[in-house]
Amino acid sequence: MGSHAREPIKHTCPDIDKYIKWIKMEIVKDRDLKNMNEKELYESASSMSSQLEACIDYLEDLRKSNDTLRVWGIEEATEVDRLVAELEDSTMQTL
């Protein structure tokens, strides 16, 4: 068992949690929108837009990680199916 490869990526849930927290903080970050003048509102909206654009890159990284994990899982399932069939064949031959 020691030489069997394990999942190719770390857990993604902590990253997802981090991005959710980051988005929530950006949305509420010291913003009292009702009391802002037009310039402050524009600057606030611009900042939120920039931060959310950056978040897209993080989400694309997560998409790649999840795809890598999905492919690995399919390969593992295929190998398990092959080993089960091999075991069943060897069991049938010994009967």
* Residue 86: Cβ-neighbour burial (10 angstroms; 0-12, 13-18, 19+): exposed
Is 90 exceeded by the pLDDT of residue 11? Answer: no
Is 90 exceeded by the pLDDT of residue 12? Answer: no
Is 60 exceeded by the pLDDT of residue 1? Answer: no
In the block, tokens 């890598």 appear at: 68
Domain annotation covers residue 25: yes
Domain annotation covers residue 1: no
| Domain span at 33 | 13-94
Residue 3's pLDDT band, with cuts at 50, 70 and 90, is low
Q: What is the mean pLDDT of the chain?
A: 84
Angle between helices 13-28 and 38-94 (to 10 degrees): 170
74: amino acid identity, one letter: I
Distances (CA, A) of 42 to 10, 33, 37: 39, 10, 9
Local structure of residue 33 (DSSP, 8 states): G
Report the number of distinct structural domains present in the chain: 1
Tens digits of residue pLDDT in 27-63: 776 667 778 889 988 888 888 888 888 888 888 988 9
Mean per-residue pLDDT for 10-22? 84
Domain annotation covers residue 4: no
Alpha-carbon distance of 74 to 76, in angstroms, equals 5
Domain annotation covers residue 83: yes
